[in-house]
Structure 1
Amino acid sequence: MPASAILIAGTTSDAGKSMVVAGLCRALARRGISVAPFKAQNMSNNSAVTADGGEIGRAQALQAEACGLAPSTLFNPVLLKPGSDHRSQVVVRGRVSGTITAADYHERRSHLRSVVADALDDLRDTYDVVLCEGAGSAAEVNLRDSDIANMGLAEAADIPVLIVGDIDRGGVLAHFLGTLAALGTDDQTRVAGFIVNKFRGDLSLLRPGLDWVEETTGRVVLGVVPFLTDLWIDTEDGLGVTPGATVGRPQPPAGSRWLDVAAIRLPRVSNSTDVEALAMEPGVRVRWVDNPADVSAADFVVIPGSKSTVADLAWLRERGLDVAIADAHSDGAVIFGICGGFQMLSHRIDDAVESQHPGGPVSGLDLLPVDIEFSSSKTVQSLEGPVRLFEGNMTVQGYEIHHGQVRRNDAEPLHAVAGAPEGARRGNVYGSHIHGLFANDEWRRVFLRGALSARVPGFIVADDTCVASERMRQLDVIADAVEQALDVDAIVEMASSAPRFGPTLRLARGEEPAE
């Protein structure tokens, strides 16, 4: 008999499905239950690398960490990585499987049903409970016929559904009712209940509304999860990375000076989570910026990864950010490019693969004597090994995801990884294709001290900041909130029950009013 499974769907995107699943994963794992996450289809440029060199969404990697598991392509068998408003790269079971338009993908999704079904079956054969996360809204009726992530998944796997709503946006009660009513009769019978998320205020004032939802729909509201202000790790996608936003909750400096970090908010930013480890350091203020004035005033400028390097480089120039970066460099600020950001710092970029730029090679920012050429094959690998940075030796973990390859590097290498030179350095400009470097505590401390001590003499790097501990602390905060707010035992029981709930609403589309 397959393991228990349940789908955590949402009324909208960003309703908090990923957070609720992560919290439930952690809560069940702490009880000693064998649990795994699953998201049939994700759309995000924030990805993680599995041990076998595959890609999955970072949210599923975080959920796996909450379960005490290593990332696996089973947890997210279909990943879409948008390269523009119209085209996305499709990653199937961790491997690139072409680039298509939204209309093309709508046709192709039906052919991915078996991929999704096989992955979920494998998980249900291995774990006691599988917590599935939906994508976007459960009521995307225009896509229902080819759906593989929401009600289509629930139907195919014959599992119940819980719907999460974001009350902070307003209108959550109507969202619950409207989402249920928009579903066909068969889909409605799979909806077991609702979860209110991101609540701030007096619960007694909300209670009459929850009672109304239960009376109107005949389904239980399983609880109200509070708005958790200290959660900011592993943002699902660029939607949560807004210009002017400060990353995390800056802690007071250990010395006499703050370190001001400007992270360029590229339109197609990828793996934006790279800067989160910096934001965990006391006295480090990390801001997402798209304004030249903010860049010019920074001590440390980070150009993160991009899913479309050439297009984002053109955007950067249109906004005058190239001049601001050059001015900051001349003023002694440290400039660091990660993956696509590293490529932008180069002398020349030849991309006939990702952007298929019609004009041939384009000039980079020319702050590093490096030439980049894009390859049709994609480098996807996790890394772990000894590193020598400045005068220090340490062990680091990281990962690479990129088509662009270094064809000429006349700069000093940033560091040596397992004895091989990697990245580039010239003066106060640094670049690397490796994501996750700043999450390595010793590497981060050595870099900050070696690269920024002269620029910000009053800034002191703390000796005890531990990124892994902070990540787990935040996961435990989510789990604690979920345990306190929701009836976790009832959710586990629902996951093992026959997914038949009711009644159906009179507004069910295409159906006669229920008697």
Structure 2
Amino acid sequence: MRGGVLIGGATSDAGKSMIVAGLCRLLAREGIRVAPFKAQNMSNNSVATLDGGEIGRAQAAQARAAGLEPSVRFNPVLLKPGSDRQSHVVVRGVPAGVVGAADYAQWRERLRSVVLADLESLRADFDVVIVEGAGSIAEINLRGSDIANLGLASAAGLPVLVVSDIDRGGSLAHLFGTTAILSPDDQRRVRGFLINKFRGDPALLAPGVDRLAELTGRATLGVIPFESRLWLDAEDSLAAPVGARLGPPGRIPDGPDLRVAAIRLPRVSNTTDVEALAAEPGVEVTWVADPAAVATADLVVLPGTRATVDDLHWLRERGIDRAVRERIVSGGPLLAVCGGFQMLGATIVDEVESGSGAVPGLGILDQSVRFASRKTVRRRAGTVWGIAAHGYEIHHGVVAGATDPPWLMADDGTGEGVERDTLWGTHWHGLLESDEVRRALLTRVARARGRPFRPGVVPFEVVRAEQFDVMADLLAAHVDRGALAAVIEGRTDDPPVITHTLT
């Protein structure tokens, strides 16, 4: 098999990321050299690559599904929202500036050439490239500057399959309307549909699928069932809302041994840091945004953020800063990661991210933070409590003047982070994916809280790999493989243009 396909969405968050991961896994299991690609990702969930760049977390997951090491080639443009109107632009893994919605057109041609060059190189090196679109492909107001959806498909000669999330309702209308609103040339790119997250009897849906084919001239290649075992965050959407619980549904029917409260900052980044905690049996992880939840949890996680100073102000507005201080004074366990760790110091000097200058921190740790113009992006390895550990750093802030003992010891002999009784802080993302480190931390939390904790036995890497296999199995069972292969290999005829209205 040789070729490629763009998996586009009828809406945002339709499940494109997981479907691309599943297709990568399915083809890789069959010995096909397959790679993922997302031209332009908007996400604050990112991963450091071996070559010192950063890419969206979803593309790193898709690369692992394909049996590949994450690379900046898989996600050449990453937009990291710093506010509602501006995003930090990362090009081929390196920060390239700040862009607003109004001036993005100035970047268009430069980014287009980067995207097309990287996609062309992947298609030369791999048998199949599975491309993930961004949001909905029906945003015709953005078509002129598009480099991630039909603009990319047109320039690269890619066929398109459109995914709709039927769990939201209106799926058939989404698929029809998404196709019909496109220009004739763009419509011809759309070769079929995928319906995702279906619950119930497929026979009840069949008449609607048949009618959709009559109206559009395009077949639905598969109706993929809803699967509760798919819970790890491979999406690029905003983090789960306040009150949402991580982990497979129904895993803790009799109540948790440990309750973890992850503070849902407005611009939270790398939310996946807490996923590994939710993979432990008996541990309940919930996103929270109120002081009471901070006071009562067994462990509080103050996560990373793309806007450290702004989110520090948000903590103060809600009174969560006081709850965090009171928790530390009372000996309540708290884990602070990256931006959350930087907030704990006496002062933050930021002329880079927010331009706010010197801002008082929470004053819990005797340290200061100054934002450097050069971003630190690197993989790390070392030890925690004598246990081998690994992670990665993505931050501008540099800590100075720390008087507390370091929590980690990096392989280069430098100390990192802070450990003070049951307060732990670090810049390392992904640290809790190390099974022994995660379980040692939770054992200390349980001891401090007088709670039971029974460590799991399944490695987190296995939990993550199982997600890819579950999705691959769903696709193998519920997608017309012959039709899919024909689309990927470019063996389908041009479909009709929708010109009629419904009667």
> TM-score if structure 2 supplies the norm length?
0.96
One-letter code aligned to 2:439: R
Q: Per-residue displacement from partner, 1:363-398 (whole Å, max 9, x unpaired)? A: 1112211110000000001123x31x33xx232221
Deviation at 1:291, TM superposition (A): 1.5
1:512 corresponds to:
none
1:292 corresponds to:
291
1:182 corresponds to:
181
Deviation at 1:205, TM superposition (A): 1.2
| Partner SS for 2:472 | helix
Task: Measure, in 1, the Cα distance between the counterparts of 2:17 and 2:50.
Answer: 22
Matching of residue 464 in structure 1 with residue 457 in structure 2: yes
Deviation at 1:235, TM superposition (A): 4.2
Task: Measure, in 2, the Cα distance between the counterparts of 1:198 and 1:253.
Answer: 24
Q: Which moved more, 1:198-207 or 1:325-334?
A: 325-334
> Any residues of structure 2 matched to 1:411-450 within 5 Å, and which?
411-418=404-411, 419-449=413-443
> Any residues of structure 2 matched to 1:45-56 within 5 Å, and which?
45-56=44-55
One-letter code aligned to 2:418: A
Q: Per-residue displacement from partner, 1:148-175 (whole Å, max 9, x unpaired)? A: 1110111101111000011111111111
1:513 corresponds to:
none
Deviation at 1:206, TM superposition (A): 0.8
Kept in 2: contact 1:368–1:425 (CA 8 A)? no
1:381 corresponds to:
378
Task: Measure, in 2, the Cα distance between the counterparts of 1:7 and 1:237.
Answer: 16
Deviation at 1:115, TM superposition (A): 0.4
Kept in 1: contact 2:17–2:234 (CA 8 A)? no
Task: Measure, in 2, the Cα distance between the counterparts of 1:13 and 1:201.
Answer: 23
2:323 corresponds to:
324
1:76 corresponds to:
75
Task: Measure, in 1, the Cα distance between the counterparts of 2:165 and 2:101.
Answer: 26
Query: Where does structure 1 lack aligned partners over 5 or more consecutive residues?
Result: 509-515
| Partner SS for 2:406 | coil
2:366 corresponds to:
369
Matching of residue 307 in structure 1 with residue 300 in structure 2: no
Instruction: Indicate which of 484, 488, 492 corresponds to 1:495.
Output: 488
Q: Per-residue displacement from partner, 1:260-300 (whole Å, max 9, x unpaired)? A: 11000000000000000011111111100001111110111
Instruction: Indicate which of 478, 486, 490 corresponds to 1:485.
Output: 478
Kept in 1: contact 2:79–2:89 (CA 8 A)? yes
Q: CA RMSD in A?
A: 1.8
Deviation at 1:304, TM superposition (A): 0.5
Kept in 2: contact 1:367–1:429 (CA 8 A)? no
Task: Measure, in 2, the Cα distance between the counterparts of 1:144 and 1:493.
Answer: 27
One-letter code aligned to 2:311: D
Kept in 1: contact 2:261–2:299 (CA 8 A)? yes
Task: Measure, in 2, the Cα distance between the counterparts of 1:92 and 1:229.
Answer: 35
One-letter code aligned to 1:275: V
Task: Measure, in 1, the Cα distance between the counterparts of 2:380 and 2:483.
Answer: 41
Task: Measure, in 1, the Cα distance between the counterparts of 2:394 and 2:406.
Answer: 19
Q: Which moved more, 1:451-460 or 1:97-106?
A: 451-460
Matching of residue 217 in structure 1 with residue 216 in structure 2: yes
Task: Measure, in 1, the Cα distance between the counterparts of 2:330 and 2:447.
Answer: 12
Task: Measure, in 2, the Cα distance between the counterparts of 1:253 and 1:333.
Answer: 26
1:258 corresponds to:
257
| Partner SS for 1:103 | coil
Task: Measure, in 1, the Cα distance between the counterparts of 2:265 and 2:457.
Answer: 32
Kept in 2: contact 1:88–1:100 (CA 8 A)? yes
Deviation at 1:3, TM superposition (A): 4.5
Deviation at 1:332, TM superposition (A): 2.4
Q: Closer, same or farther in 2 for the Cα pair 1:257/1:178, shift >3 Å? A: closer
Percent identity of equivalent pairs: 53
Q: Which moved more, 1:230-239 or 1:88-97?
A: 230-239
Kept in 2: contact 1:252–1:283 (CA 8 A)? yes
Task: Measure, in 1, the Cα distance between the counterparts of 2:377 and 2:303.
Answer: 17
Kept in 1: contact 2:115–2:147 (CA 8 A)? yes
Q: Closer, same or farther in 2 for the Cα pair 1:257/1:223, shift >3 Å? A: closer
Task: Measure, in 1, the Cα distance between the counterparts of 2:222 and 2:244.
Answer: 30
Task: Measure, in 1, the Cα distance between the counterparts of 2:217 and 2:229.
Answer: 35
Q: Which moved more, 1:241-250 or 1:227-236?
A: 227-236
Task: Measure, in 2, the Cα distance between the counterparts of 1:253 and 1:409.
Answer: 43
Deviation at 1:507, TM superposition (A): 5.9
Task: Measure, in 2, the Cα distance between the counterparts of 1:147 and 1:260.
Answer: 44
Matching of residue 455 in structure 1 with residue 452 in structure 2: no
Task: Measure, in 1, the Cα distance between the counterparts of 2:490 and 2:71.
Answer: 27
Task: Measure, in 2, the Cα distance between the counterparts of 1:356 and 1:140.
Answer: 33
Kept in 2: contact 1:253–1:283 (CA 8 A)? no
> Any residues of structure 2 matched to 1:262-273 within 5 Å, and which?
262-273=261-272
| Partner SS for 1:350 | strand
| Partner SS for 2:36 | strand
Task: Measure, in 2, the Cα distance between the counterparts of 1:499 and 1:195.
Answer: 16
Q: Closer, same or farther in 2 for the Cα pair 1:490/1:322, shift >3 Å? A: same
Instruction: Indicate which of 454, 459, 468 corresponds to 1:475.
Output: 468
Kept in 2: contact 1:6–1:162 (CA 8 A)? yes
One-letter code aligned to 1:403: H
| Partner SS for 1:455 | helix
Q: Which moved more, 1:105-114 or 1:297-306?
A: 105-114
2:171 corresponds to:
172
One-letter code aligned to 2:42: M
Q: Per-residue displacement from partner, 1:452-477 (whole Å, max 9, x unpaired)? A: 24323332241513100000111111
How many residue pairs were aligned? Answer: 499
Q: Closer, same or farther in 2 for the Cα pair 1:361/1:507, shift >3 Å? A: farther
One-letter code aligned to 1:24: L
Q: Which moved more, 1:100-109 or 1:59-68?
A: 100-109
1:346 corresponds to:
345
Kept in 1: contact 2:61–2:234 (CA 8 A)? no
One-letter code aligned to 2:304: G
Kept in 2: contact 1:110–1:147 (CA 8 A)? no
Deviation at 1:420, TM superposition (A): 1.6
Deviation at 1:417, TM superposition (A): 1.5
Task: Measure, in 2, the Cα distance between the counterparts of 1:405 and 1:491.
Answer: 49
Deviation at 1:244, TM superposition (A): 0.5
Q: Which moved more, 1:98-107 or 1:139-148?
A: 98-107
Matching of residue 396 in structure 1 with residue 397 in structure 2: no
Q: Which moved more, 1:241-250 or 1:283-292?
A: 241-250
